[in-house]
Structure 1
Amino acid sequence: MAHWTDGLVREVTGDVRAELGTSVARVFERCYADTLGSTLTELPDGTVFMLTGDIPAMWLRDSTAQLAPYLHVAARHRGVADLLAAVSRRQIDYIAVDPYANAFNSAPNGHGHHADLTEMSPWVWERKYEIDSLCFPVQLAYDLWTATGRTDHLGEPFRSAARTIIGLWRTEQDHENRSRYRLQRLDGPASDTLTREGRGPETALTGMTWAGFRPSDDACTYGYNVPGNIFAIVALGYIAQLADEVLDDAVLAADARSLGDELEAGVARYGTVVHPEFGEIYAYEVDGLGNAVLLDDANMPSLLSLPYIGWCAPDDPIYSATRSFVFSEHNPTFTVGTAARGLSSPHTPPRHIWPIALAVEGLTTDDAAEKERLLQTLLATDAGTSLMHESFHADDPSTFTRAWFSWANAMFCELVLDIAGLRTVERQRAVRSTRP
């Protein structure tokens, strides 16, 4: 793909340099070129397999997020639009293989976690079921359509995938009685496996849809991940719109809207708590039995990311209160160090801040000074590599995890483009109200 990607990188980097200067442009150029030059493999069927970085597998979540900064030029660059469509078609094909899987191989070679006790396919690298793994492919397909008007990736396979997604989410509304999904990993930490012989912690009906794992690939403490359910509501809105305007499928549109309404009612009734200091805020996870996890994980979708994924405006009252909680001592993942302050994750070592979360923090505020502060923090914590990492120590950025993590590079680019005024794809706000 180098016949057009090199020119694209020079063009967009030049635009960034003109707005923000050479030092920002230098790091931007390396991060922007990383995905195009290092992660893509065209398969014999014309689809594109996309590495997440230093793991030889394609995550449905990561592959969408990695492409976010390229959406903004897709309307004027056919090569970019073709790439997005090719990745989208590969994602849809993977959903047909196994909608419960989160990561896939480039061929049916049996690589990955095949010692897990679950129903594995040789195409599947890992079968940790996460709601967002189905949301992100819908988001990519929808964003490509809104950015370019293109519809060739929205044929029968997409229609079938949309029906599969709706059916799975309905099944997992009653995980206890209707789901056959199980996963046990016998050779890893507790966060890599589900309790109760692979079923996960007990839940009661809430109207929300269940997940086994968080976007970090760690097991959920409770079965209803609130930001995941919110993202599902947004994705169902996209499916309904595409069903109406592209697929001419009134039944699919009605099914998507109906399920979206059920999930939204579930979030409204069970997904918020009243905090003594901040008032009504979103919980991170609940079980429908009266238990809730109050934190925010650094990975996305997070509570912090809700405006970025299209749920609400930054000044939405519940979101604003939740954001205040997230950046307080009450949130166990909020970390303050001598080099930076931001969100950490149980997925990485203690006191390790995630650049993805720093970028999302900047992308969900209207405060220009805060955006600039976060940009400078990212530039100052790259350990001299001109690349972003999965996480870095809050007191010593030279201590970091994952030297090559394409998603973090992409989110840095998203923030740079936002500050430079070069982000052209803005997601519609899906939420009407989170109260019944």
Structure 2
Amino acid sequence: MSSGTLLSAEADMMAVFKSTGSLGRICPTPYKQWSVVAHPPFSAGPLRIPSMRPPLECRTFISTAVEQAIAHISAQIKDPDIRQLFSNILPNTLDTAIAWHHAGKTTALDFPYSFVITGDINAQWARDSANQLLPLLPYAATDTNLSALIAGLVNMQAEQIAAYPFANAYKPPLRSGLVPGESDWAKRDIVNPPPDLNLVFEAKFEIDSLAAFFKLSTSYWRQMQNSAELLNVEVWRRAVTASVDLLVQLQAPTFDAEQRLTNATIRFVRTANSGTETSFGGGRGNPIRRTGMVRTLFRPSDDSVIFPFLVPANAMLAVELRSLADMLDSLGDSAVAQTARQLAGEITHGIYEYGTAEHPTFGRVFAYEVDGYGSRLLMDDANVPSLLALPYLGFVNSTDPIYQNTRRLVLSPDNPWYFSNGMAGLLAGVGSPHTGFRRVWPMSVAIQALTSSDRQEIVDSVRMLAASTGGLGLLHESVHVDSENGTDFTRPWFAWCNGVVSELITRVVVEYPGLL
């Protein structure tokens, strides 16, 4: 986004304000109008980070525990720019992205439900919405309203996935009264099995979407001391069973022993001007052999895979299936738990058997994608799950030698999606085909710090992030590496990334007192 665009957006927003006769008491719709103008008061540091929280009456959800956390953690941050940034981003999802919440609890069977958007589209991505609320989970035990909000997202995702486990994004339920986001192209997609367009916003199948649902479910359950009191367990069980059964099916190879096509459970074809928007093989994806891993059609970026075994997504799946099995055991679902554990073991074996490669410079590394035939894609994408994030996901320890080799590859020009312009202090990190060349995702910089124990690397990463907001005090999807002041960016605010960076700053304050 250029400075000219910012000026135009500011003029548009001021016109809205003038039409209401107020400069501070209206709620811009969408928040995007608010997010592209720097609001006072500004931080006292050289970056002059603005105050980007919407007015109190315009916030979509308020948590007393989160407000207390902002005050407590901010008081331990000496740097005024980072302190202001943290105050903007920790509550960003609550401030801007809770499109609908039904608190429930009026009767024994009245469960909470929540619909969480990523930004300016009334659609809920399973992966994004889970990651947006997970950093707030530590505060849920002392805030019953926040606990109900997160349980509501588990219930909403379970309802969606039980009905159709193949989608990456869903429309709001009719009972919410929300107007669904536009997705006319979905009517033209060829998808097998066909989706209900009243339910599904986009039907790109991504295994990390199901892994995110598992992670949100089990993380909430553990945070609530193994309680499922607010969960609609009957619907949740249906969603989990459908998901696990589907994942087992998707271990199957493309061809049987007689070289005939096996029954492909998933298929996605879209007429588009970008190859990342559709799938190879008439929608089936490129051929695979059985490895124990689970195939996918799309990456967490919503871009199509080249080879269907996406290693970092399988790694996340293995971790979350084991956690899921523990929760299932506690709820008496031992058969599904056993299947989940077995699947996790087969995936893990498949990753080490087929998902690593010998690199001439870095040694044994994890590949990004493989097919079981010997083809390997050596790269990384900024979207989580990524290879860089493997310790963050819980798949390996950060000191694991294969991971360390992979990390050196990922954070170097040998990764075709690592970008830097060579100038110290400017944003450098992993980008994505989703946003094109020479665009770094701040999320990747945060993950680099979250998987590091090097104090200098961590503090440098946090300072790069603070300087990457284009003077707007919010994290973006991507920033061009030649944009010295960060004004050339995509997405004015990216709630998922704001959450990840707030998680990073919180961890630094706790584990490295005084570093910031």
TM-score (ref. length: structure 1): 0.93
Contact 1:135–1:235 under 8 Å retained in 2: yes
Match of 2:162 among 92, 96, 108: 96
Change (3 A) 1:3 1:198: closer
Q: Is 1:216 the equivalent of 2:216?
A: no
Contact 2:322–2:340 under 8 Å retained in 1: yes
Q: Is 1:120 the equivalent of 2:195?
A: yes
- The match for 2:464 is 377
- The match for 1:15 is 72
Q: Distance in 2 between matches of 1:354 and 1:3?
A: 26
Deviation for aligned residue 1:46:
3.5
Q: Is 1:161 the equivalent of 2:239?
A: yes
Q: Distance in 2 between matches of 1:312 and 1:204?
A: 25
Q: Distance in 2 between matches of 1:154 and 1:283?
A: 38
Q: Distance in 1 between matches of 2:61 and 2:301?
A: 33
Change (3 A) 1:5 1:172: same
Give the aligned residue type for 1:105.
K
Task: For residue 392 of structure 1, give the secondary structure of its aligned residue in structure 2.
Answer: strand
Deviation for aligned residue 1:380:
0.5
- The match for 2:149 is 83
* Structure 2, gaps ≥5 residues long: 1-56, 103-110, 175-179, 255-261
Deviation for aligned residue 1:180:
2.8
Q: Is 1:360 the equivalent of 2:444?
A: no
Task: For residue 345 of structure 1, give the secondary structure of its aligned residue in structure 2.
Answer: coil
* Structure 1, gaps ≥5 residues long: 424-436
- The match for 2:126 is 60
Give the aligned residue type for 2:217.
A
Give the aligned residue type for 1:267.
I
Match of 1:420 among 489, 496, 509: 509
Deviations 1:45-94 (A, max 9, x none): 74110101123210000001111220121222222211110111101111
Deviation for aligned residue 1:16:
2.0
Deviation for aligned residue 1:187:
3.2
Match of 1:41 among 99, 107, 130: 99
Deviation for aligned residue 1:188:
4.0
Superposed, 1:282-301 pairs within 5 Å as: 282-301=366-385
- The match for 1:434 is none
Deviation for aligned residue 1:369:
2.1
Give the aligned residue type for 2:130.
T
Q: Distance in 2 between matches of 1:54 and 1:201?
A: 33
Contact 1:50–1:58 under 8 Å retained in 2: yes
- The match for 2:219 is 143
Q: Distance in 2 between matches of 1:99 and 1:263?
A: 20
Q: Distance in 1 between matches of 2:505 and 2:298?
A: 30
Q: Distance in 2 between matches of 1:163 and 1:94?
A: 13
Give the aligned residue type for 1:305.
A
* Number of residue-to-residue matches in the alignment: 422
Give the aligned residue type for 2:210.
L
Q: Distance in 1 between matches of 2:61 and 2:303?
A: 38
Change (3 A) 1:341 1:166: same
Deviations 1:295-348 (A, max 9, x none): 010000000111111112111111111111111221111111232210011100
Contact 1:327–1:334 under 8 Å retained in 2: yes
Contact 2:368–2:378 under 8 Å retained in 1: yes
The structure having more radius of gyration, on CA atoms, is 2
Task: For residue 75 of structure 2, give the secondary structure of its aligned residue in structure 1.
Answer: helix
Deviation for aligned residue 1:154:
6.5
Contact 2:390–2:396 under 8 Å retained in 1: yes
Change (3 A) 1:3 1:322: closer
- The match for 2:38 is none
- The match for 1:250 is 334
TM-score (ref. length: structure 2): 0.79
Q: Distance in 2 between matches of 1:330 and 1:156?
A: 48
Task: For residue 120 of structure 1, give the secondary structure of its aligned residue in structure 2.
Answer: coil
Change (3 A) 1:52 1:188: farther
Most deviating of 370-379 and 328-337: 328-337
Q: Distance in 2 between matches of 1:256 and 1:154?
A: 20
Task: For residue 48 of structure 1, give the secondary structure of its aligned residue in structure 2.
Answer: strand
Superposed, 1:167-186 pairs within 5 Å as: 167-174=245-252, 176=254, 177-186=262-271
Give the aligned residue type for 1:114.
K
C-alpha RMSD of matched pairs (Å) = 1.9
Deviation for aligned residue 1:401:
0.4
Contact 2:312–2:385 under 8 Å retained in 1: yes
Contact 1:222–1:286 under 8 Å retained in 2: yes
